[in-house]
Structure 1
């Protein structure tokens, strides 16, 4: 597991603070790997999910640090969403 993915898994676990997601979301961080968030928690995983979010490492780190608004990132094309948009919005609200 890359250090970026390892750090992102820890950061997402802290951000979610025990909250669980109903469904599955995969974060694809360009040139780094994928993270899955589902009812079981957060882990490195590249399997298909109900919703897939794609971003650069910089955008993803900005989302986790609260410096990048998820909706603004989506509207400007820095965050791409495939699949269940409602699930993406739910996760976005948990991250802010």
Structure 2
């Protein structure tokens, strides 16, 4: 995940939507290093690498993540077409749009 993508995630993060949430979102990129997001009661931390016990793990290309984040790709469509794979609490993945609303 590029620094620009991390900056964009932090700028778009909606702390209010994350109030009371304590979850780990693991991202495995097919074309970049692994990263995980720690969402803890309205705060966001982005870390490089792999978390021992993520709430949900998402596998995709960095281009797919960019498309989902900027609204060009529907997350559910990406999942149904195999561009996005998810394990763990898959329903958490549906909350990414509310945590990182397009602006």
- Give the TM bin, normalised by the shorter chain: 0.7 to 0.9
> How far does residue 93 in structure 1 lie from its aligned partner after superposition?
4.1
Which residue of the partner structure matches residue 51 of structure 2? 47
Task: Show structure 1 runs of 4+ deviating over 3 A.
Answer: 92-96
For the 8 Å contact 1:5–1:44, the answer to whether it is kept is no
> How far does residue 34 in structure 1 lie from its aligned partner after superposition?
2.1
TM-score, normalisation: structure 2: 0.74
Instruction: Evaluate the alpha carbon distance shift between residue 54 and residue 33 of structure 1 in structure 2; reply closer, same or farther with a 3 A threshold.
Output: same
For the 8 Å contact 2:27–2:35, the answer to whether it is kept is yes
What 5-or-longer segments of structure 1 have no aligned partner? Answer: none
For the 8 Å contact 2:69–2:97, the answer to whether it is kept is no
Taking the TM superposition and a 5 Å limit, the aligned residue runs for 1:70-89 are 70-89=75-94
Larger radius of gyration: 2
* Count of residues in correspondence between the two structures: 93
- Structure that is richer in helix per residue: 1
Instruction: Evaluate the alpha carbon distance shift between residue 92 and residue 83 of structure 1 in structure 2; reply closer, same or farther with a 3 A threshold.
Output: farther
Which deviates more from structure 2 when the two are superposed, residues 85-94 or residues 56-65?
A: 85-94
- CA deviations on 1:10-37 (whole Å, 9 max, x unpaired) are 1222222324343111112223112222
Alpha-carbon distance in 1 for matches of 2:82, 2:29: 14
